[in-house]
Chain A
Amino acid sequence: MTAKLPPPAPANPLAVPRAPLLPPTTRSRAALGLASAAAERRFALQVCAACAAVQYPPREVCLACLGHHLPWRDVPREGRVLATTTIRISADPYFRTRTPWRIGTVRLACGPVVVAHLHGDVAPGASVRMTLRLDKSGQGVMLAMPAEDSANMQDDPQLREMTCDPRGRRVLVTDGRSAAGQAIAAALQAAGAREVFLGVAEPWRPLPGRDRLAGSAVDLDCTDEDSVRRCAASLGGRVEILVNTALHVRPGGISAGTSMATARAEMECAYFGPLRLARHFGPALRARAADGTHPACAWVGLASVYGLAANPAFGGFSAAQAAALSLLQSLRAELRPIRVLRVLTGPVDDEWHQANPPPKVSPAALAAAVVGALRDGLEQVAVGDVAQDFLARFRDNPDTLARELAG
């Protein structure tokens, strides 16, 4: 049984914090597919298109028939532990500071025998649920979980190296003026966050929902360099999760329908705002990414699927969202071991999407998705039917999707 993790104890201010080291990073191109699946909570392996043999580890040609078309497919999660061992001494700088560390061999129901990290409640010979997880370097690794839920299982130290559970952590949600920001703050508080800070720009303006805010309001205007600097000076050293929820949605195209002022505001919100946040909060978050029992762990960015492929009816907004996605991609590489979670949404159920028919994404659905994705340590979640369908079409063929959107 996993010991329940107590709330964070006050840190010794004179102790040197544990450095934000990364586990081994190098992978073959084929093996990156593990991370792609892990990023979205899928359990996928290469399956030979010719003979259906499931491959592990990832490779270029089929180990059974030498076929070279090995698409990634979701495969059954069942497995049985063959043998376990506990690593007590490691030459790797990351693992040296995290031993003892349990690993084992697991026979997957779909065929291969894999080397996997083991949850503490997994016994030799046990049936397990296999998961693909992102480790601190963002690589996909196998983690065998108990077949049935066990008490406090989220608190397993090896699992916690791969997840971003908000319980016990302090969170900054950047846009307390939006319904999404307020809902996400409430959900994080309900999930046991130790403290939730909600950024509020222009405090002299009325704030709808001020009387029922979850967490405490702080001055933060991401369009203002000085405001971000002051907020980071106050909170940069004491938040473990940053959730940027700011979306500035206005209908309107590229050649007409969007004023320059609106286009600039969209870009301020989607790109320059997160850029300021990254410059002022990023280094402090990263520096505390291995510090204590509840280290800094995640950066969450909310973005529209229109950033993947532009919807001409929201042309200016789409362009700004493309910039937002590009920023998150670079930030993900820079901030490791901080996990950068991208939350893709379709039209949100707000006043700027009155002309869009349902289904639309509710603030509560966004909030539930953020909490779930943090708990499982994901890097990407598409919230709602529209975003999931959009993402599937994008993956099928981005060019076809662009043509569909152009109408």
Chain B
Amino acid sequence: MTSLAAFAADLAAGRIRVVDLTQTLSPDFPTIVLPPQFGQCAPFRMEQISRYDADGPGWYWNNITVGEHTGTHFDAPVHWVTGKDLPNNTTDTLPAQNLVAPACVIDCSAEAADNGDYLLTVPVLEAWEAAHGRIPAGAWILFRTDWSKRSGAAYANMRDDGAHTPGPDPHAVRWMVGRGALGFGVETIGTDAGQAHLMDPMYPAHSMMHGAGRYGLQCLCNLDQLPPTGAIVIAPPLKIQGGSGSPLRVLALVPA
């Protein structure tokens, strides 16, 4: 039996479970907010074409509009200026082989529960490695904060000085790039912390990850159902020509 045949048998027998890491794409889900003088990411919108009515008696369908960075979404390297000249940096050119990859889940849910300014640091990553082994090159590093269990204003957590949501500090990002991480995935609206515009460099996860050709995943959920190691993440963005990212369905395969 090939390993794929064994995999199919495990799936069929329920020895491998499929976990949906995706938030529902709806108009009410918070979208990133930039200062008003900048262009804004479109929220998800759906308008009916027909619903078994005069516009289409036997069928129901909608037109949708959405920004590339709306809802649970993928960031390609071209999204940031630091990654603009890299090869295969857009959603249509990045290697398909990278879109299925193992995941290491760093659980900081206890620390981030009441602290919107919680930062993922190198010591936390090193402690994780001490417990679970070295993070392999080519793996997603997923930052579990349980922020996906919040909703509305508590999820966006915006104040007069901007959003207060957890993220990595610049040293942690540099460390993860050094480990050869495929990308960095989070439960919040951005891979960077809400206050990352105050860091040096600004927005380190965007700046350094994309500058190194790595990816981002945002607005994930159900990370609490993943083991620290051993999960496989399937995260292929829409094949948008020249796209900087896309909403997507993210699935994880985990041992039952």
Contact = CB atoms under 8 A, between A and B. Distances in A.
- Name, among B27, B46, B155, B159, the residue most crowded by chain A CB atoms within 10 Å (CB to CB): B27
Contact of A204 (B40, B48, B156): B156
B contact residues, range: 20 to 34
B159 to A, nearest CB: 7
Given A223-B45, A224-B45, A203 B152 contact: yes
Nearest to B30: A204
B189 to A, nearest CB: 10
A228 to B, nearest CB: 11
Nearest to A352: B36
B159 A202 contact: no
A202 B158 CA distance: 12
Interface in B1-58: 27-28, 30, 33, 39-40, 42-43, 45-48
Contacts of B47: 225
Contacts of A262: 39
Nearest to A219: B28
Nearest to B33: A205
A347 B33 CA distance: 26
B39 A259 contact: yes
A13 interface: no
A262 B159 CA distance: 24
B256 interface: no
A212 B117 CA distance: 29
Interface string A191-222: 00000000000111110000000000000010
Interface in B59-83: none
Majority SS at the chain A contact face: loop
B27 A206 contact: no
B81 to A, nearest CB: 18
A226 interface: yes
B110 interface: no
A225 B27 CA distance: 9
B28 to A, nearest CB: 8
Interface in A216-268: 221, 223-227, 259, 261-262, 265
30 contacts: A203-B152, A203-B153, A204-B30, A204-B151, A204-B153, A204-B156, A204-B158, A205-B30, A205-B153, A205-B156, A205-B158, A206-B153, A206-B159, A206-B160, A221-B27, A223-B43, A224-B27, A224-B43, A224-B45, A225-B45, A225-B47, A225-B48, A226-B27, A226-B46, A227-B27, A227-B28, A259-B39, A261-B40, A262-B39, A265-B40
